[in-house]
Each structure stands twice: as C-alpha cells, then as structure tokens.
Amino acid sequence: MVKKSARVAVVLMFVLAGILFLTSCQKLNVNYIKGNHHFNRANALFTDGKYRDAITEYELAKKYYEAGKDKNPNLINVYRFLGESYKSLFRPGDDRPENLERAEKALEFLQKAYEFDPTKKEIIYSLGDMYDKLKRFEQAEQFYLKILDLEPGNMNNYYVVAEFYKRYAAEKEALRAKAESMYYRRIEADPENPQGYAYLANYFENIQPIPEFDKANDCWDKRIALDPTSAEAWLAKGVNRWSKAYRLANLPASERLVYARESLRALERAVELDPNYPEPYSWLSVLYKSVLAKLEPEKESRYNAEGDRNLEKFQELRKRQLERKKLEEELKKVK
C-alpha cells in the first residue's frame, strides 16, 4: 500500500511538472505571438512615417519580447527601430526639452541595438549620424571610423567618413586634412577607378569659403587620363575652368581669358565625343555670354550669337531627351 502511494505521488509530481512546463511554454508562445503582432504593426507604421504611433507599438513588442527567457531575434530590430523612430522625430538645433529627450531616447535604443550586435553596419552608421546631428564630434567620429574597420574594402565608406569630416572642416583646419585623406585612401584602394578622382574633384570645388579649382582640375585631368572618351569628364573640366574664370573676378583679365579658353576646348571636346549630350551646349552658351563676351568686347556680338546657337541646340536636345524618356516610361506601362 505504501509502495502504491509512493508511485501515485511520483506520477502526480510528473503530471504537475508537465502542467507547469506546458503552462510556461504556452506563456512564452503567447509573449512571442503578441510581440510579433505589435512588431509587425510597428513596422507598417514606421514605413508610413507615423513614428509616434510606431513607437507605441515597438514599446509593446519590446515588453513581450523581453518577457521571454531567451532573447528574441527580433529584439535587436525593435531596439534599432525604436531608436530610428525617435531619431526621425528629432529636429537638429531645437533645444526644447521634449526634442532633446527624443535625441537621448534615440541614442539609448540605438546603443542597445549596437550592444546586441556590434558588427551591424546600419546601426553603427545611425549612431554616428545621431551624434553628428547633436554636434558631438568625438562620439560621432568613433562610430564613423568603426565603419571603416568593419568594411575596409568597401569604397563607399571612405566617402561617408570624408563627408563627415568635411562638415566640420570650416571649424577645424585639421579636419579638412582628414577629409582629404579619406578621398586619397579611396583612390589608393582602387587607383584604376576614375570615379575616385571625380569625387575628390567635387570635394575641392566645393570647399568653402574659396574653392580650390586648380586642385580639382588636376583631378579631372587624372579622371580623363583613365577614360579619355568620357564626355562627362570633359564637361566637368570645362565647367571647372569656366568657374575659375567667372567666379574669381579679381584675377587679371589675361589670366581669366586663359581659363576661359581652356574651358572652351574642354567643352568642345565633350561635344565631339557625344554630339547628342545636351549639357555641354548649355555650358558653351554660358561661357560665350558670361565670360568671353566680357573679356573680348570687340568680339561680343559674335560670342553672343554663338551663345544663342548653343542654347538653342541644348534646348532641342533636352526636348528630345525628355520625349524619349516619356516614351520609354509609356512602353514600360504597356509591358
């Protein structure tokens, strides 16, 4: 009788343990299902730009996911997009407490996502961008440089970091050198790619307060050397030489005329390479009227006539280009 009672007690113990286990599993499953429900709703709201509503749903998803014993694989994205939602609501330059609170919330959740997976590029970039928006240079730099460490072979990452340094270059001269070094590192990593020189040329042409047109022109020459049949590269060189002749009005007229003629040769070369490329004609018109006609007034009437002719050619080619694009879009709809 005693043995029978003991056996019954053991059986009851296992039954109770099974019930508790099933109850626990059911609870975990319910948390998982509820978490997924709110997570999917939050994603839809985020996609629609309804960030405040998305935050409410992400918070509910977080609550259910965190209630489970194991880390839910979606939890990293809950943290990430909670951070992205607060970041989207943040307005740089607005010092009101509620706006600064959004910034701190964005950093809090993005940091949690980063701790969850410190190798995810999108999270690293977003943290760098958030610190950048807050003008916290040291923290922003730390995360931007992590992108390079993470993907040293990705050429686009050098431009991301270069653009970051460029935003602060006017305040600190040393950062201008850092920006340039990123463009050069990109070129060194892939020296046969002409696009590297194009990016560096654009950088020099947009330096403030005084662009470095000659350094940019050297880059366009290297770009052309790698691909001498590129009408776009010759156009860029022509615009560069026009910019120096026109924008630096304090230069002696004789020097400005030299740059203007360099511009003319480059733009005419672009036309030779691609006679149906509209933009060189537009810049030829600008060059004739805004610079050459002023520097050589004895030829003003001829230069103005050349300017008008090139403008008409530009308008004609642009019209054809737009008509062709419209036709292609209509054909896509038919298919």
pLDDT digits (tens, 9 = 90+) for 198-253: 999 999 998 877 899 999 999 999 999 999 999 999 999 999 999 999 998 789 99
Residue 7 maps to a domain:
no
* Count of domains observed in the chain: 1
Q: Which residue has the higher pLDDT, 329 or 296?
A: 296
Nearest residue to 204 via CA among 214, 196, 191: 214
Tell me which amino acid residue 240 is.
N
Question: Distance between CA atoms of 277 and 170, rounded to whole angstroms?
Answer: 36
Burial code (b: 16+ CB inside 10 Å, e: under 16) for 299-314 equals eeeebeebbeebbebb
Interval 60-69 mean pLDDT: 85
Kindly state whether residue 8 falls inside one of the protein's structural domains.
Answer: no
Cβ pair 265, 230 in contact under 8 A: no
Assign 24 a pLDDT band (cuts: 50, 70, 90).
very low
Of 36-40, 198-202, 309-313, 322-326, which gets the smallest average pLDDT? 322-326
Residue 57 lies in a domain: no
Q: Please give the structure tokens belonging to residue 4.
A: 């029978």
Residue 129 CA to residue 123 CA, distance in Å, equals 10
pLDDT at residue 3, as a whole number: 47
CA distance 76 to 81: 9
260-265 average pLDDT score: 98
Q: What is the C-alpha separation between 285 and 329, in angstroms, rounded?
A: 31
268 is a domain residue: yes
Whether 75 is covered by a domain: the verdict is: no
The whole-number pLDDT of residue 174 equals 83
In whole angstroms, what is the distance from residue 125 CA to residue 131 CA?
10
pLDDT tier at 26, thresholds 50, 70, 90: very low
Are residues 136 and 174 in contact, defined by beta-carbon separation less than 8 angstroms? no
Contacts of 219 (CB under 8 A, 6+ apart): 197, 198, 200, 201, 204
pLDDT in tens, 291-310: 999 999 999 999 999 999 99
pLDDT in tens, 135-156: 999 999 999 999 988 888 888 8
- Give percent of the chain with pLDDT exceeding 70: 90
Residues 6+ apart with CB under 8 A from 301: none
Confidence at 70, pLDDT banded by 50, 70, 90: low
What burial class does residue 131 get, using C-beta atoms within 10 Å of its C-beta: 0-12 exposed, 13-18 middle, 19+ buried? Answer: buried
Asked whether the predicted pLDDT for residue 38 surpasses 60, the reply is yes
Give the chain's length. 335
Q: What single letter denotes the amino acid at residue 293?
A: A
Q: Is residue 25 predicted with pLDDT exceeding 50?
A: no
Q: How confident is the model at residue 335 (pLDDT cuts 50, 70, 90)?
A: low
CA distance linking residue 33 with residue 182, whole number of Å: 47
Residue 326's domain comprises 230-335
Residue 243 is assigned to a structural domain of this protein: yes
Give the model's pLDDT for residue 69: 58
Residue 289: pLDDT over 80: yes
Whether residue 50 lies inside any domain: the answer is no
**Residue 209 included in any domain:** no
